[in-house]
Amino acid sequence: MEPTGGKPLTLAILGTGAMGRYWTYRLRAVHPWIVGEVPPPYHLKDHGVQDVLAPRHFSWDETPPRAPDVVVLATKWRRMGCAIPWIRQHASGSFVVSLMNGMGQEEALAGIPSLVLAAGITTAAVTRFDQTTPAIEIRSPGETLLPETRDPREHVLREWAHTHQWEWQWRSAEEMRSLRWQKLLQNSVINPLTALADCPNGDLPRHPLWSLSAPLLAEGESVAHGLGIAIPDDMAMRVHALTEATAHNISSMLQDVREGNATEIDAINGYIARKGQTLGIPTPAHQALWQLISQLRA
């Protein structure tokens, strides 16, 4: 499918961490560029399959030969200081698919008015191992959901997703609002608690810190309701199910803590706490974890 005057679309993935490499692998049929700090080759293990990826790579300060039509935002929040100027400079009119954890993408990209943002979610679980060479291991392909936008570039993505079996699914913008909050609530429990417990996701429900999951969910659900967002009443089960589906994964927050990197706590529990404060809804458990995790690196 060639909707841009006969030229095939160019897709750029921003982020060379676990998720950037993962999407480079999953979308390899359309030859995405990858932009970020760590140059290829990237080694990967996908259950029985081993592969080495060598996509076209640009560092943050390199100028690509042309503007990409579609940008997949797969970077961590700590790299947004690189990603936003890159988009502004090289892809300001592009269709940006965010598959980042946490909230605040709209606000972060608001200064680039000509782009179209499709903020989606993914439960893909990938662990990064960079001791000898950049490598990832895919623990679970999860689910990837995107909002319907009616943008012609989305049409191409749908064709590609169908042809190449990316297993991306599209949902109405309204449904996506709730789904993003559901993923936020799942991350607000699993990520900081595994980071503190220093355990894979699947071990968390047997750890004493798991007792914090109930107050975290109750507070998060109150904030969501305060914002008028419908949340299903079986969230506790959904969080537990995600720990099982990603049992062998090391959560992205624990990977950050182990590597001494800044975590995404501001965009996850910090986001819920800030929204709670604006609405006058107390969120003591989120506040406590926001502070604790922030201090881990201070």
Please say which residue, 243 or 283, places its beta carbon nearer to ligand KPL.
243
By the 8 A CB rule, do 184 and 102 touch?
yes
105 lies in the site for ligand KPL, by CB under 6 A: no
Q: How many residues bind ligand KPL (CB under 6 A)?
A: 12
Of 249, 269, 283, 287, the one binding ligand KPL by CB under 6 A: 249
Question: Both tokens of residue 179?
Answer: 């789904």
Stretch that binds ligand KPL, among 31-39, 40-48, 110-118, 244-252 (CB under 6 A): 244-252
Start-to-end C-alpha separation, the chain: 49
Residue 123 C-beta: closest distance to ligand KPL, Å: 4
By the 8 A CB rule, do 165 and 51 touch?
no
Residue 186 C-beta: closest distance to ligand KPL, Å: 6
Of 82, 118, 125, 267, the one binding ligand KPL by CB under 6 A: 125
Residue 156 C-beta: closest distance to ligand KPL, Å: 27
103 lies in the site for ligand KPL, by CB under 6 A: no
What 3-state class would DSSP assign to 146?
A: strand
Residue 228 burial by CB count (10 A; 0-12/13-18/19+): exposed, middle or buried?
exposed
Of 38, 78, 88, 123, the one binding ligand KPL by CB under 6 A: 123
Residue 194 C-beta: closest distance to ligand KPL, Å: 8
101 lies in the site for ligand KPL, by CB under 6 A: yes
Stretch that binds ligand KPL, among 5-13, 60-68, 174-182, 247-255 (CB under 6 A): 247-255
Residue 49 C-beta: closest distance to ligand KPL, Å: 20
Residue 111 C-beta: closest distance to ligand KPL, Å: 26
Helix 173-197 and helix 269-279: axis angle, to 10°?
Answer: 120
Using CB under 6 A, which residues numbered 161 to 220 contact ligand KPL? 187, 190-191, 201
What 3-state class would DSSP assign to 165?
A: coil
- Count of CA atoms in the C-beta half-sphere (13 A) of 239: 31
261 lies in the site for ligand KPL, by CB under 6 A: no
Closest Cα partner for 89 from 35, 16, 9, 8?
35
251 lies in the site for ligand KPL, by CB under 6 A: yes
| Partners of 146 in the β-ladder | 170
Cα–Cα dist 126/116, whole Å? 27
Residue 179 C-beta: closest distance to ligand KPL, Å: 13
Please say which residue, 75 or 191, places its beta carbon nearer to ligand KPL.
191
Residue 286 burial by CB count (10 A; 0-12/13-18/19+): exposed, middle or buried?
buried
Residue 198 C-beta: closest distance to ligand KPL, Å: 14
Cα–Cα dist 102/267, whole Å? 5
| Partners of 138 in the β-ladder | 46, 126
Tell me 55's DSSP state. Answer: -
Closest Cα partner for 24 from 42, 8, 7?
42
Cα–Cα dist 288/135, whole Å? 34
24 lies in the site for ligand KPL, by CB under 6 A: no
Please say which residue, 153 or 286, places its beta carbon nearer to ligand KPL.
286
The footprint of ligand KPL (CB under 6 A) covers: 101, 123, 125, 187, 190-191, 201, 242, 246, 249, 251-252
